[in-house]
Structure 1
Amino acid sequence: MKNQNSLAFPVSKDTRDAAENQIREQQKETRYDIRDFTIEYIIQKFQDGLFFVPKYQREFIWPQNHKERFIESIILGLPVPMMFLADLDDGRLEIVDGAQRIQTLEEFRNSDLKLKDLKILDSLKGFTYEDLPESQQRKFDTKALRIVVLEDATSANRRKEIFNRINTGSVKAKPSEVRRGDFESPFMQFVIRCASDAMFRKTCPVSKSLVSRREPEELVLRFFAYSDRYKVFKHDVYKFLDKYTEDLRDNFDKDKMESEFNQTMHFVNRHFPNGFAKTKNSSSTPRVRFEAIAVGTNLALRQNPNLTPGSLSWLDSEEFQFHTTTHASNSAPKLKKRVEFVRDMLLGK
């Protein structure tokens, strides 16, 4: 019996033909074969540069327990997820998915990774690769891992899409990490450069682990996006930031945006005793606090570029604390209130 919806809304032959053509065209984008490489070979080719990590990938951020779990799986002979490489025109193989695992293999093989808390092989506590019996070292080196190798006809965009969809690592990619690959463009390069600015890093402390997860880039992007469009923001912050990034992909006022960014960073460094952080010795900066101060300051400077603020005692007020709590941080009304509160306080309204 046919579905009632299909009877009420029949798909025309032309629509089906168009769908068939699109599917066939997109299927041409992905061609691959499956190979088995030994761990020793994988590590050697990674060190030689034959296998390499592309720009859109994450930095090496697996925590100790994830590394140990992976190595334990290898030693036990348990199945591990396949890795994905892409065969490039120059003969090198781009690591589309598996950078975390390959770097962990290298770290362990070099005896730079000491096993501490294995779930099953607790007798290996304190072991490095060199401490393994020679027979187990040989088994480790010669163990073959299954690799999906994409043919060189696979486009760069398709490789990035595979990375974003598979993301088989145990540590899920953050939106800022995925966005770095999805929207590699002049605008994203500009954001990355701003996120490396010395004054920004000084006034906006970010922990080492979050730096590796692209948190500075996330904060800079929020600064620009909310400064320009906070009034039209609804509720889904990641879709909002994705659209903003796509809209400005190749067409943005670099000089104006860079000027506003620099003015805001210097203003905060000059007048705010703790910069964007809560305390002088903070090692991290809450996003909602950064948004409130950074965007609010920028809005105030747009109205008065020669602004000299009065008392900043409001930073310790209950009202400011209320506006910069994490509760409902993605709420449009709350975003509006916190940035406009800082703007108005700086302007003396």
Structure 2
Amino acid sequence: MSKDPIANRELSEIEIEERMKNQEETEKEIEDQKEKIDYDTREIIIEYIIDKYLKGADKDDNEIYVPDYQREFIWNDYQQSRFIESIILGLPVPLIMLAEMPSTGRLEIVDGSQRIRTLAAFKKNQLVLKGLKKLKTLNGLRFEHLANSRKRKFNHIALRMIVISGKATKETRNDMFDRINTSSVPLCSMETRRGIYKGDFANLLYKLSREEKFKKMCPISKHFENRREEEELILRFFAFYDSYPHFKLDDEDNSSIENNGVSRFLDAYLNNANKKYKNCLKEKEELFTQMLMSVDKAFPNQGFRKKIGYKQTSRAYFEAIAVGTALALKERPNLKIGDMSWATYDKKKLSNFFALFQGKYHSHTPKKIQERIEYVRDNILKNAEN
């Protein structure tokens, strides 16, 4: 909130007149603020971008990296293919924005993580092009199938990037990020769902998201503040728990993560749950509360953070810990959770658990979700106190 006492109300005619007399003060304020904005625009070839993104990624030490709050890859194959087609055709694509981190010199992806990950997936032959309407002869092909000359041309295509300098203050970086993401403020998935899938179960998600214990255990990044991220996480808990292990629904469309992707699967689950769980909301609330209390005891002062001190919650980590714990309690309702050090992030000594989060491309396939959840369940049961 601005410290200017009249910043958020209409000015009187006298106040407007006073402001108009002080144009020099206005110009000085503009110049002072412009000096704080330190960035440059670069054109960098795709080959270099991919190299800096992939090299060291397994150790979370890549020069260009995806921050925790953007970990989930949400583009489907068609969206990725269309982006690659645009690149090859030389069509204009949105600028990528990076921010230099003063302490490490690494470049955090502020805007463009889906695009960079798509480029890397294509270059690593993980993406099969499909649904192309301009370059139809490329449908069904991977990068390795292109002629060598075309591969080189693709590698040498330059993309425009804005790089916020490490000299810029944290406040300035946050402000630029906020302006990029609120200029046309697209609704987050959960914001959209609250407007479409109204019902008792949706109301339960809201109620649980307001619990102080949950909010304390599950800090939300600045990017997702006031965007219903807490409800998104709780929805994921119930949806993945109820549909484990195949993550399919018995609705009219046989919705599944495999066929619909995570976001649409969650849409279908919420729509279904509003109808299906009208008479068992109390049981659902108790299930969530029991899981929450168990995690709180297992991770005092840490909650759903990867380690104590983190100020944001990874969706994938939350899903694994929450659902894995609930499944363990389902098998042994009175179990006392033992050693959980394997689930605390240590960059220097990465546990097998965190190895399951490596590889940011298609991190939310049913197989990967199941692997992470079962790793938590099995280790909780194995290390439970007698």
- TM-score, length-normalised on structure 2? 0.47
1:324 has 2:357 as partner: yes
Indicate whether 1:314 and 2:342 are aligned.
Answer: yes
CA contact (8 A) 1:288 1:326 kept: no
Does the alignment pair 1:177 with 2:203? no
Match status 1:338 vs 2:372: yes
Q: CA RMSD in A?
A: 2.8
Q: Distance in 2 between matches of 1:287 and 1:333?
A: 16
CA distance in 2 between partners of 1:225 and 1:195 (Å): 15
For residues 137-157 of structure 1, give each alpha carbon's deviation from its aligned partner in whole angstroms, at most 9, with x where no partner exists.
xxxxxxxxxxxxxxxxxxxxx
Shift of 1:232: 2.7
Cα distance in 2 for partners of 1:287, 1:194 equals 17
Task: Report the CA distance shift for 1:334/1:110 in structure 2 as closer, same or farther (over 3 A).
Answer: farther
| Whole-angstrom CA distance in 1 between matches of 2:227 and 2:194 | 11
| Structure 2 partner of 1:244 | 269
Preserved contact between residue 209 and residue 215 of structure 2 (Cα < 8 Å): yes
Separation in 2, partners of 1:229, 1:331: 14
Runs of 5+ in structure 2 lacking a partner?
A: 13-25, 31-181, 248-256, 345-349
Query: In structure 2, do the counterparts of structure 1 residues 179 and 124 end up closer, same or farther at CA, with 3 Å as the change threshold?
Result: farther
Residues 208-236 of structure 1: CA deviation (Å, up to 9, x unaligned): 44131111010000000001013232340
Q: Render the CA deviation track for 1:63-85: whole Å, top value 9, x for unaligned.
A: 99xxxxxxxxxxxxxxxxxxxxx
Check 1:124–1:332 CA distance in 2 against 1; reply closer, same or farther (3 A cut): farther
Match of 1:275 among 294, 298, 303: 303
- Rounded Cα–Cα distance in structure 2 between residues aligned with 1:109 and 1:319: 58
Contact 1:230 1:335 in 2 (8 A): no
CA distance in 1: counterparts of 2:341 and 2:286, whole angstroms: 28
Query: What letter matches 1:321 in structure 2?
Result: F
Q: 1:126 maps to what in 2?
A: 29
In 2, are the aligned partners of 1:204 and 1:276 still within 8 Å (CA)? yes
Superimposed CA distance per residue, residues 144-188 of structure 1 (whole angstroms, 9 cap, x where no aligned partner):
xxxxxxxxxxxxxxxxxxxxxxxx960211111101101111111
Q: Cα 1:108–1:296, aligned 2, differ >3 Å: closer, same or farther?
A: same
Partner of 2:219: 205
The residue number in structure 2 matching 1:90 is none
Unaligned runs of 5+ in 1: 1-62, 65-105, 112-122, 128-167
Contact 1:288 1:325 in 2 (8 A): no
Aligned equivalent of 2:382: 348
What is the CA distance between 1:109 and its match in structure 2? Answer: 4.0
Match of 1:21 in 2: none
Amino acid of the structure 2 residue aligned with 1:207: S
Q: Secondary structure at the match of 2:274?
A: coil
Q: Distance in 2 between matches of 1:292 and 1:179?
A: 23
Provide the rounded CA distance (Å) in 2 between the counterparts of 1:287 and 1:326: 15
- On the 8 A contact 2:298/2:338 being kept in 1, the answer is no
Determine which of 247, 263, 287 is the counterpart of 1:260.
287
Of residues 222, 239, 244, the one that matches 1:225 is 239
SS at match of 1:220: helix
Larger Rg: 1
Could you say if the C-alpha distance between residues 126 and 343 of structure 1 is closer, same or farther in structure 2, counting changes exceeding 3 Å? same
Count how many residue pairs are aligned between Structure 1 and Structure 2: 197
Q: C-alpha separation between the residues in 2 aligned to 1:332 and 1:344?
A: 18
Provide the rounded CA distance (Å) in 2 between the counterparts of 1:258 and 1:200. Answer: 13
> What amino acid sits opposite 2:29 in the alignment?
G
TM-score (norm 1): 0.52
Change (3 A) 1:124 1:251: farther
1:194 positional shift: 0.7
- Rounded Cα–Cα distance in structure 2 between residues aligned with 1:108 and 1:124: 22
Q: How does 1:1-349 map to 2 (within 5 A)?
A: 107=8, 109=10, 126=29, 170-233=184-247, 234-235=257-258, 236-252=261-277, 253-273=280-300, 274-316=302-344, 317-325=350-358, 327=360, 328-348=362-382
- Residue range with higher mean Cα deviation, 228-237 or 274-283: 228-237
Partners of 1:283 and 1:346 lie apart in 2 by 25
SS in 2 for 1:231: coil
